[in-house]
Each structure stands twice: as structure tokens, then as C-alpha cells.
Amino acid sequence: MNLVHLKYAVEIEKTRSISKAAENLLMAQPNLSRAVKELEESLGITIFRRTSRGILVTAEGEEFLRRARSILAQVEEVENYYKYHKTRTQKFSVSVPRAAYISDAFGEVLKQVDSSLPCEIYFKEAGYEAAIDNILQEGFGLGIIRFQREREGEIVPALESKGLRCEPFFEFVHVVAVSKFSSLAAKQVLGLDDLKGRIEIAFAEEEFEVPALNRKQCGCRRICVFERGSQADLLRSVPNTYAWCSPMPQQTLESLGLAQLECKGEERVFKDMLIYPEGYRFSELDKLFMAKVRQIARLL
């Protein structure tokens, strides 16, 4: 017995005719009759009696059909549930470097999420290797990685050999972020000597995205954090602190109470690059995120 047999029996009960049921099921009448006979034999009961007045349901058949309808209804409910969630669930997943402009783009995406539909959204701040692993091992759809421009020639072929597509979209030189009340905030351009004796608020997990400065030149005093929020809090509350970061939108600087300044002596160019699996089909949220992150980056 299988679900198909249950459907056959319920259709016969509905039409009270083998021939009509076979027509509705798009199958030959002899095949339907044979299937019902096999079902009755496997259960050891008689479900239908054939009379001159048509098909009659036996008492045993009534009980069987009641259970069959219940089973089919439950199966339909499960199928509809997963069909709906698979086709209508709004899905988005991305791993990114710690960058305010990327978070701003993500915020714009969240504004477009349809609150009437289910959603599965993952936004993870991650370093270079972790962003790649999240796509290859964890099923993430998108990633943004950060690296020094001179390494692009070795990085892109390595990623393509792993089945990843690469789209560079933003080049920048790191800037120095300080509290808007810092004595440095009034300067137009900094030099590395301006950072001597001050405390750097750095991320503990440093990879390609952090400039490899000679920290002895800057005083080599550091506080390591793991989150951008903690970094911004410390820049505001701890005197004589600074942080290296990618350029931030002016609106973000104002909301965080920070200022950013160019610094002579650290002028290497870094790149942010979008990565995703070969053959990946972009969701509407993917497309919106990519458009927003490029739009904001162009303004920096």
C-alpha cells in the first residue's frame, strides 16, 4: 500500500464509479480495478462492493476511507507548507569585512524585506578566510573580502579554482577614525607621528583587511576588540584613541560621533571584492544588496 492507492480509493468513493474515477485519474479502468483489488488483498478487507446500482462502500471500507482521507490531508498540508516556504521565503546570507558602509547597505536591504513573508537572513562580519569558508562550507550565498590591491593577481585565480566568481567593486586607502572631540579631528591630514603615544583600537582578528603598519612608529599601544560597536564606543569614551578603517559615510560618522582623516605614510590601496559560487542564482535581496553596497561605495 502507498499514497497512490489511497488516492485511488478516495477518488472511487467520491465518484462512486470505477470508470469515472479512472477518467479523473487519467488512467485505464482495468489498471485502476487491479490496483484497488491489490489494495484490498494487502489489507485483508473489502472496501467496495460492485452492484448493479454502482459502487457501494462497505463498513470496513468506511473506516479505511476515513483514515485515508486524514492521511492524504496531512500529506497535502506538509507539501503545501514546504512548497510555500521554499518558494516564498526571503533568503539572504553574506559574510563581510568590518566596514560601516557595508552595514549601511545591509540596513537599506532590511527596509525592503516583506514583513508578510517568512525570511532567513544571515549577516556575518568575518575575515578573508572565514568569508570564503562560509560560502564553500556553510552554504552562504555571498561574501565580500578585503585585500591589498597588489595581491589581486594571485587571489582571483585561487578563488576561481575553488569555483568562486569575483567582482571587485571598491578601492580605498585606510583612514584614521577618532572622536569628533579629539584634538586630531581639527587637522586636515595626519602623519604617522601624530599617532605617537595614542592608543589604537584594533580588531583582534586581523587579516588582509588591516594595514600592516610599523606600529613602533605609532607608539605600539593597542586595545583589541572583536566588534565595530565596541570600537566606536571606545573611540568616543577613551581619550587619545584612534582606529584604522575603510572610509565611512558622513551620516554614519555623525551618528557615531566620529571624524575620519587621511594619514600620510599609509597610502597603500586596498580592494573590497564580491564573491559568490559559480552558477549561483541571485535572489531579489542579493541583487538589492549588491546595488546598494556599490551605490554607497561610489560616494565615499
**Contact in structure between 184 and 164 (CB atoms under 8 Å):** no
- Winning range, highest mean pLDDT, from 2-11, 18-27, 152-161, 189-198: 152-161
pLDDT score recorded for residue 203: 85
- pLDDT digit string, tens, across residues 5-63: 999 999 999 999 999 999 999 999 999 999 999 999 999 999 999 887 888 999 999 99
- Domain total in the chain: 3
Per the CB < 8 A criterion, the answer to whether 101 and 296 are in contact is yes
Q: How far apart are CA 210 and CA 201, in angstroms?
A: 12
Lowest-confidence range among 54-63, 131-140, 175-184? 54-63
C-alpha–C-alpha distance, residues 28 and 21, integer Å? 10
In DSSP notation, 165-178 reads EEEEEEEE--EEEE
Q: What is the CATH number of the domain that holds 178?
A: 3.40.190.10
pLDDT value, residue 207: 46
| Residue 87 confidence (pLDDT) | 62
> What is the spatial distance between Cα 229 and Cα 25, in angstroms, rounded to a whole number?
62
163 plus 275 within the same structural domain? yes
Can you tell me the distance from the alpha carbon of 212 to that of 209, in angstroms, rounded to the nearest whole number? 9
Last residue of a domain, one of 61, 87, 113: 87
Query: Which residues face 94 on adjacent strands?
Result: 123, 142
> Residue 209: pLDDT band by 50, 70, 90 thresholds?
very low
116 with 81, same domain: the answer is no
Residue 189 CB contacts under 8 Å (≥ 6 apart), including other chains:
261, 262, 263, 264
Amino acid 86: pLDDT: 61
CATH number at residue 22: 1.10.10.10
Residue 7 CB-half CA count within 13 A: 11
| pLDDT at residue 211 is higher than 60 | no
Residue 82: what residue type?
Y
pLDDT in tens, 199-208: 999 887 654 4
Is-contact 170 271, C-beta < 8 A? yes
DSSP bridge partners of 167: 274
Whether pLDDT at 241 is above 60: yes
Residues 111 and 224 in one domain: no
